[in-house]
């Protein structure tokens, strides 16, 4: 199964049984609204206990004296309680609350252990005849075959954030208005049993997982009218998922994910007949609603049994019963395998938010979030996921903007004066709430960064504000040289930082190309494809260079796999060559005036590349030669942005992936390599130790080249395309940002020169479904 979120497991420490001292009527309770239980400090179950200074040692001691409106606060720790039974009642306006110490994901760090003595098996936590009781944030264990949670003739009893293993929960004997919500339940089936004439029970937003071979039924409701079963994830492993039997009329079964077999189990169950996903007996159909669930077909069993009739598909169910217009019969996990063309799981953003019994978070305490590439097909806000776990493993979308100048230390733009950045100095730039960038929700920005007038050799590191400066670089220069590079950098507190790693001052310019947030366009990365070469009649009508102060317009849609419409921006690797005079190139949306921004800066005669992400207007982009001489321009497609697709961007680091001047990847097996340059006309395949990835954003630096040449970065396993990412002259150090598709976790670097070259590669983010 693909993990939808990495969650910390809460361990269960089973200690030897410790007898609980008897608590008589003379035991004092604290006058305040909170009674404290903490056996990790000096404690007592006698008179005067229950204060924060002198807490009770056992929960049972507090339970014997707690009054309406009071809270029993249970500290993190292990509590051996023999048959802990709650019998005292609160009122509707002033319930009694038992609250454990919440740890990560809102599950209790306070652990209640029943009696594990096989001669005296005990339940974990019992509510007997009490009403208006709230129990939160506990881990509860019980003897095998006993109950972790048992509500016996209780009323208005609410459980939230409960863990248990190896046992089950039961609501019985005419209990009313009991809620079990936001919890993780694993053990012997039925994991949740509601019976004995209990009414209006709510089982909401729990992970319910069987783990015992004799019965792993998930949720069973028998003779319990008005039961609500919503937003649970039920894994019953070849046993029934959800069962309504007897006189369980007027029930609601919605938003559940039911897996009677999972994608990481055998392909089908040995006895599929007993692995029905959702069963509603004929005696329970009256007034019962069934909708918005997802039932996996992997067990080979029937998806639904309604009133004795079996249904394997949603259309058949709806035609036969009038129920389940929004049901889905599908494997909830295979859609996450990220094969080409696969879309995110249909459980996302598709639940009935208006169903009864819905709570304000998932089973891990996380709120509903809007997946940026999935249509909101649910009710209400449309962003609730089906099941107990909110899918949050996604990144951001791109909004092209500008180009707009945000920083120029020469011209008092983005800073308080015109002073260059000091040697070994840092300048911090606000990037949100300006130039059309939202004030909040921005995860990263794409900037074209240029350094000019550097007094000594050095490099620039652009990194998230407030963090430790990483061991990475974005631009490398020699004294006196002007050099640009595209930078995509995570945003923290609305700012990014620029560090001048040199012994001399330097001026820094930054032009906005776009930003990443929860809304925008989706990147579709492509293999490098040449769209423009003014030397070779590609993308233009001849082989004439771009004239001094001239503009060339390039169609970029409807070719090379780019859609004919709906494209908001393209990412191109742009190279200028044979410039006759010093100057710069501005790449900008077609139809407007060339903005006060630059993408490439060059001295006469120099070949220089830079990655460019530029908005598309009318299917075209424009290139302006801001120099007094002609220049040839080359552009290779790296990807395009549109409303279609499922890749989202996750900014990372930045961190160093490799440096061929040093041993790197040592100990990782796949990526272990001794120091040494990439040989002439040689290829280096690099495994990226990153999550499942469609494309990656890298800053690639070439250094110590033995002769002139260029570098091509491309997806592993393919042929070297007619494209380039970096161009250099002998002895030069030069960087460029690269966006490249990943295949089998790898990308390839081809040294198109007749001498070895060293590579330094830093990761700044990745795109993934």
pLDDT beyond 70 at 330:
yes
Predicted local distance difference test score (pLDDT) of residue 141 = 86
Predicted local distance difference test score (pLDDT) of residue 653 = 73
Predicted local distance difference test score (pLDDT) of residue 270 = 87
Q: Using CA atoms, how far apart are residues 720 and 712, in angstroms rounded to an integer?
A: 7
pLDDT beyond 80 at 23:
no
pLDDT beyond 50 at 612:
yes
Q: Are 398 and 510 in contact (CB under 8 A)?
A: no
> What residues does 278 pair with on adjacent strands?
242, 304
Render pLDDT for 525-536 as a digit per residue (tens, 0 to 9).
888 899 999 999
Q: Are 602 and 483 in contact (CB under 8 A)?
A: no
Render pLDDT for 456-483 as a digit per residue (tens, 0 to 9).
999 999 999 988 898 888 888 899 989 8
Q: Would you give the end-to-end CA distance of the chain in angstroms?
A: 16
pLDDT beyond 90 at 282:
yes
Q: Using CA atoms, how far apart are residues 203 and 188, in angstroms rounded to an integer?
A: 17
Pairing of strands 202-204, 228-230: parallel
Predicted local distance difference test score (pLDDT) of residue 28 = 39
User: Domains of the chain: which residue ranges?
Assistant: 26-165, 213-393, 397-517, 522-642, 648-768
Question: What average pLDDT does range 149-165 have in this prediction?
Answer: 94
pLDDT beyond 90 at 356:
yes
Q: Using CA atoms, how far apart are residues 465 and 308, in angstroms rounded to an integer?
A: 62
Q: Are 280 and 288 in contact (CB under 8 A)?
A: yes
Render pLDDT for 160-184 as a digit per residue (tens, 0 to 9).
999 987 789 999 999 999 999 999 9
Predicted local distance difference test score (pLDDT) of residue 705 = 92
Question: 524-535 burial string, b = 16+ CB within 10 Å, else e?
Answer: bbbbbbbbbbbe
Predicted local distance difference test score (pLDDT) of residue 446 = 93
Q: How confident is the model at residue 680 (pLDDT cuts 50, 70, 90)?
A: very high
DSSP line for 119-165: TS---SEEEES-EEEEEEEEEEE--TTSEEEEEES-EEEEEEEEEEE
Question: What average pLDDT does range 591-595 have in this prediction?
Answer: 88
Q: Using CA atoms, how far apart are residues 489 and 137, in angstroms rounded to an integer?
A: 39
pLDDT beyond 80 at 737:
yes
| 101-105, 137-141, 179-183, 533-537: the lowest-pLDDT one | 101-105
CA-based max dimension of the chain: 101
Looking up tokens 């930082």 gives: 497
Tell me the CATH number of domain 522-642, given options 2.60.120, 3.40.140, 1.10.3470, 1.10.1760: 2.60.120
Taking Cα atoms as reference points, which of 599, 603, 594 lies closest to residue 552?
594
Render pLDDT for 549-584 as a digit per residue (tens, 0 to 9).
999 999 999 999 999 999 999 999 999 999 999 999
Question: What average pLDDT does range 122-143 have in this prediction?
Answer: 92
117 compared with 238, residue with greater pLDDT: 238
Centre a 10 Å sphere on the Cβ of residue 327 and count the other Cβ atoms it contains: 23
pLDDT beyond 90 at 246:
yes
Tell me the CATH number of domain 648-768, given options 3.30.70, 1.20.1300, 1.10.10, 2.60.120: 2.60.120
The conformation of residue 396, written as its DSSP 8-state character, comes to B
**CATH 3.90.1010 is held by the domain 397-517:** no
* Mean pLDDT, all residues of the chain: 88
């Amino acid at each position: 199964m693909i993990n939808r979120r990495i969650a910390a497991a809460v361990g269960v420490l089973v200690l030897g049984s410790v007898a609980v001292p008897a608590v008589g009527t003379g035991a004092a309770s604290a006058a305040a609204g909170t009674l404290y239980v903490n056996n990790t400090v000096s404690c007592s179950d006698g008179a005067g206990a229950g204060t924060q200074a002198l807490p009770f040692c056992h929960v049972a001691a507090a339970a014997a004296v707690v009054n309406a409106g009071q809270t029993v606060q249970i500290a993190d720790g292990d509590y051996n309680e023999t048959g802990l039974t709650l019998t005292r009642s609160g009122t509707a306006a002033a319930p009694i609350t038992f609250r454990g110490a919440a740890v990560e994901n809102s599950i209790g760090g306070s652990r209640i252990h029943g009696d594990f003595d096989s001669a005296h098996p005990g339940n974990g936590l019992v509510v007997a005849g009490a009403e208006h009781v709230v129990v939160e944030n506990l881990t509860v264990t019980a003897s095998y075959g006993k109950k972790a949670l048992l509500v016996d003739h209780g009323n208005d009893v609410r459980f939230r954030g409960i863990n248990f293993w190896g046992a089950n929960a039961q609501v019985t004997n005419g209990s009313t208005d009991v809620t079990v919500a936001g919890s993780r339940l694993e053990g012997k089936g039925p994991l949740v049993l509601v019976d004995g004439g209990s009414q209006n029970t709510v089982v909401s937003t729990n992970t319910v997982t069987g783990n015992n071979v004799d019965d792993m039924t998930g949720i069973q409701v028998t003779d319990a009218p008005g039961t609500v079963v919503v937003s649970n994830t039920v894994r019953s492993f070849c046993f029934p998922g959800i069962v309504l039997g007897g006189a369980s009329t007027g029930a609601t079964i919605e938003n559940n994910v039911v897996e009677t077999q999972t994608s990481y189990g055998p392909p089908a169950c040995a006895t599929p007949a007993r692995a029905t996903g959702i069963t509603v007996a004929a005696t329970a159909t009256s007034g019962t609603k069934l909708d918005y669930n997802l039932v996996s077909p992997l067990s080979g069993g029937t998806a639904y049994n309604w009133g004795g009739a079996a249904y394997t598909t949603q259309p058949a169910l709806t035609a036969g019963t009038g129920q389940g217009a929004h049901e889905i019969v599908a494997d909830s996990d295979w859609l996450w395998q990220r094969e080409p063309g696969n879309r995110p799981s249909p459980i996302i953003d598709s639940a009935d938010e208006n169903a009864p019994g819905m709570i304000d978070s998932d089973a891990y305490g996380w709120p509903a979030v809007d997946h940026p590439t999935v249509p909101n097909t649910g009710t209400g806000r449309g962003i609730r996921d089906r099941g107990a776990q909110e899918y949050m493993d996604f990144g951001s979308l791109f909004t092209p903007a500008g180009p707009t100048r945000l920083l120029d230390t020469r011209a008092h733009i983005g800073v308080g004066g015109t002073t260059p950045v000091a040697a070994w100095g840092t300048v911090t730039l606000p990037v949100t709430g300006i130039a059309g960038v939202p004030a909040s929700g921005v995860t990263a920005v794409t900037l074209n960064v240029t350094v000019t007038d550097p007094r000594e050799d050095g490099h620039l590191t652009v990194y998230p504000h407030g963090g430790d400066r990483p061991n990475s670089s974005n631009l490398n220069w020699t004294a006196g040289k002007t050099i640009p590079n595209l930078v995509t950098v995570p945003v923290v507190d609305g700012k990014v930082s620029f560090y001048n790693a040199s012994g001399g001052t330097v001026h820094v310019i930054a032009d906005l190309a776009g930003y990443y947030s929860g809304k925008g366009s989706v990147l579709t990365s492509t293999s490098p494809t040449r769209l423009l070469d003014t030397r070779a009649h590609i993308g233009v009508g001849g082989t004439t260079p771009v004239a001094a102060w001239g503009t060339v317009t390039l169609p970029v849609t409807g070719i090379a796999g780019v859609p004919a419409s709906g494209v908001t921006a393209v990412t191109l690797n742009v190279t200028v060559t044979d410039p006759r005079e010093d100057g710069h190139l501005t790449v900008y949306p077609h139809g407007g005036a060339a903005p006060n921004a630059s993408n490439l800066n060059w001295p006469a005669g120099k070949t220089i590349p830079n990655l460019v992400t530029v908005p598309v207007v009318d299917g075209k982009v424009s290139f302006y030669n801001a120099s007094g001489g002609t220049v040839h321009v080359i552009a290779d497609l790296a990807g395009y942005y549109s409303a279609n697709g499922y890749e989202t961007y996750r900014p990372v680091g930045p961190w160093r992936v490799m440096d061929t001047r040093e041993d790197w990847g040592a100990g990782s097996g796949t990526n272990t390599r001794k120091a040494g340059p990439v040989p002439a006309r040689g290829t280096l395949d690099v495994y990226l130790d990153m999550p499942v990835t469609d494309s990656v954003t890298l800053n690639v630096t070439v250094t110590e080249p033995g002769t002139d040449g260029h570098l091509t970065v491309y997806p592993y396993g393919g042929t070297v395309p007619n494209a380039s990412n970096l161009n250099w002259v002998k002895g030069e150090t030069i960087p460029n940002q690269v966006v490249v598709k990943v295949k089998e976790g790898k990308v390839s670097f081809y040294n198109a020169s007749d001498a070895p070259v060293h590579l330094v590669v830093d990761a700044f983010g990745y795109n993934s479904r």
